[in-house]
Amino acid sequence: MIKRELFFESEIDAAVKEEAYLALLEEKESGRVGYYDLPESEMLKRIEAFMDEYDFETRGIKNVVVIGIGGSSLGTRAVDELLAHTPERNGRNLVFMENVDPVEVQKNLEQIDFEESFFIAISKSGSTIETTSHLKLVIDHFDAPLESEKFRNHFAFVTDAGSPLDKLGEEISVPVFHIPENVGGRFSVLSAVGLLPLTLLGYDTRALLAGAKMLKDSFFDRQEDMLVEKAYYYASHADTFPINVLFAYGTPLRAFNAWYVQLWGESLGKVDASGNHVGMTPVGLIGSIDQHSFLQLLIEGPRDKTVTMIKVADFEVPVAIPDISLPHLEGTDYVNGVQFNTLLSAQCDATMESIKQQGIAVDRIEIGKLDTYNVGYMLFYYELLTSLCGHFLGIDTYNQPGVELGKRILKEKFVNQ
């Protein structure tokens, strides 16, 4: 169960709301935007068949190594950190070959036992420089040439059909799972990008899709007025409140925040048709930690932020603050005997209350418990919210032209040397 409450008024008229529903419907029906179809895609069947055939158990695969960055890593990391403590998760390690700083690269090499690892190289374009560099490193370091059995038995690729990586996979008979062309990297967590590694980690990815589908159906049945209202409020106040804070309570939500930051920032920071720089800046916070860091700025700083509180009602990990009174610290005894979960929840509510009292636009999402179904729902919630904001801002939510210049300059640095 996920409970959502808005504590601000969004004055959107019926026609504008209707238009928003129709706009997203058009994105979906025209096939221009593909993420809407992911909850019902056939990919999971393909993955399940592959897993039966490959037989990971017998082969002794203990590490799932995702070679990917950005949209190719953030979603999987988000889901895994949310659910790693649940019984669904099997004992395999999840390792990311992601950043190209030598410290991380070296640490990964030391940590990975090739024979016990299954590598998934993920790149939508099929030529992401970080990913191909890691791929070459694995081939070289573990002495697993492309044409070898050794390579073929330990690799899968996830990429767009027709990409360089796809062609390579085809050529050397490595299993390739395609990302639909109309699904952008940051919207791809429910494609093979997330489904393949997450299924390998034991997660009930059917439930992940079912949770997403639940919200999808509700939205296209026009049952999600509150979502539309929230997006409208954010977009129509983008000049006054250019920063959208996600204040999520509990360390397992940290990678979810990072996923949100990419989704939001890369989708909504755009030059619009009139040449204006528009967009909103995402900030992810973790409670209670960031009560000791960012909260002061929220409460007393500029009134340029909206805040969404995310609270997990029950982490299903019972551990209580012992009923011990320490000399001189009797002032802290008011939480004695209380579950840590209860303390964290109360901190979330108290912080929200203190933010609300400042007149700041706040809403709260309460996740009953962390399971694949609810996580799927949350992923789709933020994807829909992003699409709606993009619609109201009048931009192309799904491209990212701004990152090309840096890539070009990078290449020139090496080619012209």
List, in sequence order, every residue forming a beta bridge with 158; answer none if it has no partner: 122, 177
Q: Does 74 bind a copy of itself (CB under 8 A)?
A: yes
Q: Are 363 and 4 in contact (CB under 8 A)?
A: yes
Min dist. Cβ of residue 280 to a copy of itself (A) = 8
Stretch that binds a copy of itself, among 2-10, 20-28, 53-61, 132-140 (CB under 8 A): 132-140
Stretch that binds a copy of itself, among 87-95, 206-214, 227-235, 395-403 (CB under 8 A): 395-403
CA 394 → CA 195, 233, 250, distances in Å? 31, 14, 35
Min dist. Cβ of residue 324 to a copy of itself (A) = 5
The correct pick among 6, 269, 366, 382 for binding a copy of itself (CB under 8 A) is: 269
Q: Coil, helix or strand for 126?
A: coil
Min dist. Cβ of residue 187 to a copy of itself (A) = 13
Stretch that binds a copy of itself, among 31-39, 150-158, 225-233, 303-311 (CB under 8 A): 303-311
The correct pick among 40, 104, 181, 217 for binding a copy of itself (CB under 8 A) is: 104
Stretch that binds a copy of itself, among 31-39, 99-107, 148-156, 191-199 (CB under 8 A): 99-107
Q: Give dist(CA 221, CA 231) in Å, integer.
A: 18
Min dist. Cβ of residue 220 to a copy of itself (A) = 28
Q: Look up 411 and say whether it is catalytic.
A: no
The correct pick among 344, 362, 365, 379 for binding a copy of itself (CB under 8 A) is: 344
Q: Are 197 and 178 in contact (CB under 8 A)?
A: no
Site string for a copy of itself, 135-154 (x = CB under 8 A): xxx-xxx----x--------
Q: Does 127 bind a copy of itself (CB under 8 A)?
A: yes
The correct pick among 1, 49, 109, 226 for binding a copy of itself (CB under 8 A) is: 109
Q: Give dist(CA 8, CA 77) in Å, integer.
A: 32
Stretch that binds a copy of itself, among 16-24, 26-34, 95-103, 197-205 (CB under 8 A): 95-103
Q: Look up 356 and say whether it is catalytic.
A: no
DSSP label at residue 395: S
Q: In 58-133, at which residue ranges do the beta strands (DSSP E only) sit?
A: 63-67, 93-97, 117-123
Least Cα distance to 256 among 287, 214, 217, 219 occurs for 287
Residue 136: Cβ-neighbour burial (10 angstroms; 0-12, 13-18, 19+):
exposed
The correct pick among 116, 343, 366, 382 for binding a copy of itself (CB under 8 A) is: 343
349-378: contacts with a copy of itself (CB under 8 A) = 349-351, 353-354, 357
> Tokens 């801002």 correspond to what residue?
393
Q: Coil, helix or strand for 310?
A: strand
Helix (H) or strand (E) holding 367: strand 362-369
> Tokens 């990586």 correspond to what residue?
165
Written as one string, the DSSP assignment of 143-184 is: T--TTSHHHHTTEEEEEETTSHHHHHHHHHT--EEEEPTTS-
For the chain, helix, strand, coil in percent to 5 are 50, 15, 30
161-180: contacts with a copy of itself (CB under 8 A) = 164-165, 167-168, 171-172
Q: Give dist(CA 379, CA 2) in Å, integer.
A: 12
Q: Give dist(CA 58, CA 116) in Å, integer.
A: 11
Min dist. Cβ of residue 75 to a copy of itself (A) = 12
Catalytic residue among 45, 277, 292, 328: 292
The correct pick among 47, 65, 200, 286 for binding a copy of itself (CB under 8 A) is: 286
Q: Look up 292 and say whether it is catalytic.
A: yes
The correct pick among 23, 95, 271, 313 for binding a copy of itself (CB under 8 A) is: 271
List, in sequence order, every residue forming a beta bridge with 177; answer none if it has no partner: 158
Catalytic residue among 98, 266, 305, 311: 266
201-240: contacts with a copy of itself (CB under 8 A) = 238
Catalytically active residues are 266, 292, 407
